[in-house]
């Protein structure tokens, strides 16, 4: 099985073909698509003579690290988060869900990215305004089903607040669905690879314990 990994211009690779007995082939550029053979370490490339060639890199040239030959581009992930809610009626400005971990939000320890979008799936069919707080670390917004109570130190960890208003929702009969796009909020975790998320209601919903799911789109650096 081969996986396409990009394009590269390079020289002095070690070719697997026997006619290149010396190994290094100065001046032969790799200009076409590169495919990696899973579990073998070999690559298939198109050379500048338009010949398909199987080759490998000399031992030790590429190790597992952030050091690499070329950058194809950042990748976008959609990370789901099922909110843990109080199964109760809320008052406006209550904490809807206490802070929860959004695991694997960034690619590497201490990494960063761009928060692009948030989808709200309200399975309780309430469609009430919500503020979604994004934190760099495990900060506390307050206690669920009670007024917001956040310290200055925890407020300093807020990377962004995404507001979902009643008009953002589309009625799906048995649920409500809102998609907030084009956010472009830079995010960077304090440590590890997790962001943290808490929410506050700006309405008066009644929820079950797991009635809201978020799908959070992040462009990872």
Transcribe 24-64 into DSSP letters: B-TT--EEEEEEEETTT--EEEEETTS-EEEEEPPTTSS-S
Residue 137 CB-density burial (10 A; 0-12 exposed, 13-18 middle, 19+ buried): middle
Residue 28 has pLDDT above 90, yes or no: no
Q: Under a CB-based contact definition with an 8 Å cutoff, are residues 172 and 63 in contact? A: no
Residue 26 has pLDDT above 50, yes or no: no
Residue 83 has pLDDT above 90, yes or no: yes
Residue 211, token pair as written in the block: 């009635």
Q: List, in order, residues 6 or more apart from 16 with CB less than 8 Å away.
A: 42, 53, 54, 55, 56
pLDDT above 90: percentage of residues in the chain: 66
- What is the structure's pLDDT at 55? 59
Residue 72, token pair as written in the block: 């194809």
**Which residue do the tokens 């690499």 mark?**
68
pLDDT digits (tens, 9 = 90+) for 164-216: 999 999 999 999 999 999 999 999 999 999 999 999 999 999 999 999 999 99
Q: Which of 111, 196, 91, 117 is nearest to 150 (CA)?
A: 196
Q: Identify the band that residue 67 occupies on the pLDDT scale cut at 50, 70 and 90.
A: low
Q: Under a CB-based contact definition with an 8 Å cutoff, are residues 100 and 194 in contact? A: no
- What is the structure's pLDDT at 50? 59
Q: What is the CA radius of gyration of the chain?
A: 24
82's enclosing H/E stretch is: strand 75-82
Residue 80 has pLDDT above 60, yes or no: yes
Q: Which of 24 and 65 is assigned the larger pLDDT? A: 65
Q: Which of 59 and 78 is assigned the larger pLDDT? A: 78
pLDDT digits (tens, 9 = 90+) for 87-132: 999 999 999 999 999 999 999 999 999 999 999 999 999 999 999 9
Across residues 23-27, what is the average pLDDT?
Answer: 40
160's enclosing H/E stretch is: strand 158-164
């Amino acid at each position: 099985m081969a996986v396409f990994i990009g394009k590269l211009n390079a020289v002095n690779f070690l070719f697997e073909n026997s006619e290149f007995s010396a190994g290094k082939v100065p001046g032969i550029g790799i200009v076409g698509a590169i495919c990696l053979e899973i579990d073998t370490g070999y690559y298939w490339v198109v050379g500048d003579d338009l010949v398909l060639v199987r080759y490998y890199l000399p031992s030790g040239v590429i190790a597992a690290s952030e050091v690499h030959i070329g950058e194809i581009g950042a990748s976008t992930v959609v990370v789901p988060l099922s909110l843990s809610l109080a199964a109760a009626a809320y008052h406006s400005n209550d904490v809807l869900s206490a802070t929860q971990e959004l695991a694997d939000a960034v690619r590497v320890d201490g990494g960063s990215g761009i928060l692009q979008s948030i989808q709200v799936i309200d399975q309780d069919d309430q469609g009430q305004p919500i503020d979604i707080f994004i934190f760099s670390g495990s900060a506390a917004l307050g206690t669920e089903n009670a007024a917001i109570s956040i310290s200055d130190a925890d407020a300093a960890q807020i990377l962004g607040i995404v507001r979902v208003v009643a008009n953002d929702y589309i009625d799906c009969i048995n649920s409500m669905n809102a998609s907030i796009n084009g956010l472009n909020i830079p995010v960077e975790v304090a440590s590890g690879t997790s962001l943290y998320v808490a929410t506050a209601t700006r309405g008066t919903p009644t929820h079950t314990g797991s009635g809201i799911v978020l799908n959070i789109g992040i462009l990872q650096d």
